[in-house]
Structure 1
Amino acid sequence: MAMQTVDVPTARTVPLAIHPSPSHLEDGYPMTALPKPNSLNTITDPEANNVDPAEEPLTPFLKLKLASAAFAFFTAGVNDGSLGALVPYILHTYGISTGSIAILFACAFAGWAVAAVVAGISRAKLGSGGVLMLGALLQVLTHVLRVWTPPFALFAVTFFLAAVGAAFQDAQANAFVATVKSAHRWLGAIHASYGAGCVVGPLVAAAIASNRPGQWALFYGFAIGIAGLNMGLVTLAFWEDATFGKKAVDESGEESEEEAQGSFGKAWVEMRETAAQKEVWLLSIFYFFYLGLGITLGGWLVEYLVTARHGELSKVGYFSTILSVGTTLGRLILVEPTHRFGERRMLLIYSVLCFGLQIVSWRVNSIAATAVCATLMSFFLGPFFAAGMTTGKMLIPPAKLAPSLGIIFVVAQAGGAVFPAATGVIAAKAGVGVLQPMMVGLIVGMAISWACVPKPQTKED
């Protein structure tokens, strides 16, 4: 049988590939459908190679929304951060013991719990923008009630109102920012804004209270201005996302199926489906310990330095501010390396470092040593919140993210209420030195709970 010869084109004889113009392409083979080389979907290790999908570009209006979300967190930080600096003055003015401070934390927790229950109905009736505006309004009302030094019972109720307002804003703002391109950076930025508020709040509170101990509530006049500005920004940025009772319609202009079921039924189904997700509860337990750790440290450090380390209140009253500076810097500086090398492993490393610093703070009887260790701890704890949100974004379906954050935040605030309150109750009998072993236990609990959070799997864009 004769061998058939085949002419093999050489490099010099291969004709150049000539592609027809897009108008001549057949409809069945659009160029946009061709796979791209080195597609992001080929990444197999999302922990070490975190890549965000190509979301919409940052338009000026989107930047306004991000700025509003950041300022909402700044407003919450001003409120939360000021309490630690004001605790000694609150105790003196109302003539209460440290154990009574637990009432304030309990009211705050009740507010977060109520917000989680009514969040679904609120979104159905008001829309995400309306919920943000309602949260801002409640925070304005909170400070208006506080500024005239009301009776302690009413003062405690304001913590309930502030918590509901913060819960509404936090859940919606986090869910919105998680959808933006390079979300891990923006989440770090908005949570750094919270840290900045925790810097400004105690600074202003300590300055006013130390100069006018009998009129420390004047600080809330400053807080009214911040909350009012927050209300204006939220209204301007998210007005189009508010429905205020309008019926939701789908893209075809027809009434959506969810709306047809009724707001209460929709909210109940949404809550039930959200609560069935294991990832939501594992993240909730992590935040339970994390927020309990941060609020316990910030709320009791000044009292600990005055009572156990014999510091002067006028000099150590600013230490809660220094903690917030550390947290803010951590959220700005550590967010990128934490995301690049993997949230899971980096948060475990930070937890080990915090454990070592806490042991040094406990065993070395020095105001300076306690302050330095606490500040470094706050720095390493800085990226934890944004890292948890980034992980949650990959674990939780987008449609369930906002209601999931409602559950996560209420459990987190339970930790932020239970542990500071327990510290106060125990300190009333055993002394404020109980803060140190409490901190060690919280660090260990936080690290173990984070290790139990599932590792995110690669998701297709």
Structure 2
Amino acid sequence: MPRFQVSSETSPLITSGPSEQHNASNLSKPQHAIPHPSAVYDRPLPSQRAPVFRIAAAMYSFVILGLFTSTLGVMLPHLEQYYHLTDIYVSLIFLVGPVGYILAAQSTDLVHRKYGQRGVASVGPFFHLLAAASISLHPPFPVVLVGCAIATFGTGLLDASWCAWVGGMGERANTVSGMLHGSFSVGAAVGPFLAETLMAAGNRHWYCWYYVLTGASLVEVVILPLAFRLEDAATYRRAKHDQMEGHVNAAHVKTIFKHRATWLSSAYFLAYVGTESAISGWIVSFLRRDRHVSPKIASLSLSGFWAGMATGRLTLGVVTDNIGVSRATTAYLLVAISLEILFAITSSSTVSAVLATMLGFFLGPLFPSGIVLLSHLLPKELHVAVVSFVASVGQVGGAILPFAIGAMVQGLGIHVFKYVVVVQLVIALGIWWAFSKVKRDGLLRETEVGSQESDD
């Protein structure tokens, strides 16, 4: 998730004036110079004075991302029934996700350099629209898988670009990043309930939900290019600094892999996104088959999980800023592990739904906090490339763990789901501890972004 400069005399959502941005000394200030198309301008532009519209458009885009992502869990039982699939076969829907993300990771920087932010704002929504329209035709299941890969390509472009953007917004990064990811969680929260309600009303088929996604994607196709219409390739190149033009590709391809933070953050996102995707993908099936709840209650529990994430991302960002990202995220993970253990031992459907919501609340800040920490550990010119890379690695985790659960469910039963999630959260905690100890600029061993921001 590109960036803009923040004037110390204005709101964090208002960029500084053109004379300040043109000054070379201002470009060197780490708390202001953020590596993205919208960071530096040589002339006054409307988008320079009103970045709020771009942030709002990006937030709407993340609502769409949430709708696409969260409803896979609701679709899973319906796809199994409609296409007569086994657990392991229907789990293939999780494996196609990384295909789109990996392709997006290879394309994100190229799109930025050739077309700027407005290129991403045009291409990403188009693939969302293409995917939703294709799946709404309820083609054979292999074609549905292709449609899901197309959707994740668009999601990968938008996710990495907007993550890199807000991750470098200085001292407000956690708050704005929380707003962006909170928007994702809002879409993810309403998606399962809306999808199940739509299908229950009049006994509609599962693919009717993709009519809704087609309409929402049409709006995205209009809003995003309009908001980022002035963020062209020339602006992106100026933000990268002219003297770096000849070396930026090599830096992106090679330099990011020389940083320990790249590999530890990749492992962290692999574990975290895998856990989040496993919960989102299988909790509906688990509640329906293990605890025998109705489809409506099961979908409400999934909506509660995402609603908790939305609330956590929108509110805990301020807490994270105050106590530091390392300590805060460690505390969130410890609470999440405790809640998941309680979820595993309870048998009440009502308590399960409440625990799912609470679990989502404390998992909410984990992804944006990881992006913010990574953005502070690496040089600013590497942000877009490295965020694209770690986001794609995270999606690999988001495919492997849910698919592995499908394979285990096929052989061992649905009850294994709850134990796998506990183990995965413990692994994520261990990786986060190592990630938060990485040196920053060779100086800091324990990075507390929120509490040490003012010292930069």
Instruction: Report if aligned partners of 2:339, 2:359 keep a CA contact under 8 Å in 1.
Output: yes
Deviations 1:33-91 (A, max 9, x none): xxxxxxxx9xxxxxxxxx96599999652001111111111110010011111211111
Give 1:257 deviation, angstroms: 6.1
Aligned with residue 423 of structure 1, among 405, 413, 429: 405
Residue 415 of structure 2 aligns to a residue in which SS? helix
The equivalences for 1:48-127 within 5 A come to 61-127=50-116
- Pick from 276, 282, 292 the counterpart of residue 310 of structure 1: 292
- AA aligned opposite 2:125: A
Question: 1:110-259 to 2 correspondence within 5 Å?
Answer: 110-180=99-169, 182-243=172-233, 256=242
1:175–1:401 Cα contact (<8 Å) kept: yes
State the identity %: 24
**Per-residue deviation, 1:241:** 1.7
Contact kept? 2:164, 2:371, Cα under 8 Å: no
Residue 279 of structure 2: aligned partner? 297
Q: How does 1:337-348 map to 2 (within 5 A)?
A: 337-348=319-330
Between the aligned partners of 1:290 and 1:233, the Cα distance in structure 2 is 31
- Change in 2 beyond 3 A, CA 1:449/1:128: same
- 2:403 maps to a residue whose letter is A
Which residue is 1:368 aligned to?
350
Change (3 A) 1:247 1:238: closer
Q: Which residue of 2 aligns with 1:23?
A: none
Task: Report which stretch shifted further, 53-62 or 358-367.
Answer: 53-62
* Alpha carbons of structure 1 residues 301 and 248: separation in structure 2 relative to 1, 3 Å: closer
Q: Report what 1:26 is aligned to.
A: none
The alpha-carbon distance between structure 1 residues 307 and 250, as it changes in their structure 2 partners (threshold 3 A), is closer
**C-alpha deviation, 1:368, in angstroms:** 2.0
Once the two structures are TM-superposed, the CA of residue 180 in structure 1 deviates from its matched residue by 3.5
- Distance 1:104-1:249 versus aligned 2 partners, 3 A rule: closer
Q: Give the conservation status (yes or no) of the 8 Å contact 1:137–1:165.
A: yes
Indicate the residue corresponding to 1:286 in structure 2. Answer: 268
CA distance in 1: counterparts of 2:250 and 2:405, whole angstroms? 36
8 A Cα contact 2:326 2:447, kept in partner: no
Contact 1:72 1:230 in 2 (8 A): yes
Q: Match of 2:124, as an amino acid?
A: G
Q: Which has the larger radius of gyration?
A: 1
Give the Cα separation in 1 of the matches to 2:236 and 2:372: 29
Of residues 434, 437, 441, the one that matches 2:423 is 441
Match 1:400 to one of 361, 382, 392: 382
Task: Report the Cα distance in structure 2 between the residues aligned to 1:363 and 1:424, rounded to whole angstroms.
Answer: 21
Question: Could you tell me which amino acid in structure 2 is paired with residue 309 of structure 1?
Answer: R
From the superposition, tell whether residues 58 and 147 of structure 1 become closer, same or farther in structure 2 (CA, over 3 Å): closer
Q: 1:427–1:433: 8 Å Cα contact kept in structure 2?
A: yes
Shift of 1:347: 1.2
Q: Which AA in structure 1 matches 2:417?
A: L
Is this contact kept in 2: 1:84–1:300, CA < 8 A? Answer: yes
Aligned counterpart, 2:341:
359
Q: Distance in 2 between matches of 1:224 and 1:232?
A: 13
SS at match of 2:91: helix
Separation of aligned partners in 2, 1:388 and 1:230:
27
- Could you tell me which residue of structure 1 aligns to residue 332 of structure 2? 350
**Bigger Cα displacement from structure 2, 143-152 vs 361-370:** 361-370
Gaps of 5+ in 1: 1-40, 42-50
Is the CA contact 2:126–2:221 (under 8 Å) kept in the aligned structure 1?
A: yes
Give the C-alpha shift of residue 138 in structure 1: 0.6
Q: CA deviation at 1:173?
A: 1.0
How much has 1:373 moved relative to structure 2?
1.7
Match of 1:24 in 2: none
User: Normalising to structure 2: TM-score of the pair?
Assistant: 0.83
Q: What runs of 5+ residues in structure 2 fail to find an aligned partner?
A: 1-28, 40-45, 439-445
RMSD over aligned CA atoms reads 2.6
Aligned length: 403
CA distance in 2, matches of 1:248, 1:294: 33
